Amino acid sequence: MAAANEPEVIRDKAAMRAWSRRRRAEGKAVALVPTMGFLHDGHLSLISAAAAASAGPVAVVVSIYVNPSQFAPTEDLATYPSDLAGDLRKLSATGAVTAVFCPLDLYFRGSAGRPTGASAGAVSCLEDAGGSGHESWIRVERLEKGLCGSSRPVFFRGVATVVAKLFNIVEPDIAVFGKKDYQQWRIICRMVRDLDFAIEIIGSEIVREADGLAMSSRNVHLSHEEREKALSISRSLVNARTAALNGNNHSQQIKHQIVQTLTEAGGQVDYVEIVDQESLVRVEKIDRPVVICVAAWFGKVRLIDNIEIQTAS
């Protein structure tokens, strides 16, 4: 039994589902904050949003699970940062988390039930050469195209599938996602709508370091020099929003300025796009609510960031 203010740690799927049902029988709403661990203040802000998400009592569940199905075999699954003991201390210190769901694995892995590793021609780090492993996927077909989906073709398939699994296991009334992963947030909203999950999805605003860098678990991999250069992302986004609100509504001009700023700072640009906030379709003119989305490499670290523009001149 967890001590006062210390969240209960649950590893079994059936136990997690039973826990949520008991909380709901007590009259509490269950709010889920899905994470991959290595928690920072951005994650803790999601927990605060979850705790405040209902007028009545709320039981907050934080899941910690590094999802292999959203990583391609060439991506950084093996080096993704992890500190479960530190995460549990941070969650306990909030006083707002009731349970932590830390499953060992959420996928069936071959006939023996063991991880089999990626098979030849694998598109993600979750593949089974024997044919008896996980093979059911959820795709939000249009919203997953473009932006991060262009360079990470299996990413959102993996995200949508693992989030649906978490929803089926935790059975939350509310789930909170950070808007730094803007495309992911919109995809989850659409999946919930289309598949009739009875869950309220809350998008929480980006939390930044004092110098403007968007908080990310991957920031730990940046050298001091790379981190300084990466500040060009947030600076270019703020300048772009200022330009748009001052009357420059030409998307191509603004995109070019951002690309130039990032390149001059030493970044390798994956994409810069200005898209409609709801549909994520590219816009030629900023004449509606849009979001400017950026992905760029600094050293071996891929960073994403965005900024919303609600109105334009």
Name the residue with tokens 């889920």. 32
Return the CA Rg of the chain.
20
| Helix runs in the chain, H state only | 13-25, 41-51, 84-94, 148-151, 155-170, 182-194, 224-245, 251-264
Give me the DSSP letters along 248-268: --BHHHHHHHHHHHHHHTT-E
Q: At residue 87, what are phi and psi to the nearest 5 degrees?
A: -60, -45
DSSP code, position 75:
S
Contact yes or no for 293/273 (Cβ under 8 A):
yes
Cβ density class 201-219: b for 16+ within 10 Å, e for less: bbbbebbebeeebbbbbbb
Angle, vertex CA 130, rays to CA 128 and CA 136, nearest 5: 50
Contacts made by residues 137-140, CB under 8 angstroms, sequence distance 24+: 137/161, 138/164, 138/191, 138/195, 140/187, 140/190, 140/191, 140/194
How many Cβ atoms sit within 10 Å of the Cβ of residue 285? 12
Does 224 participate in catalysis according to the annotation?
Answer: no
User: Which residues are catalytic, by number?
Assistant: 43
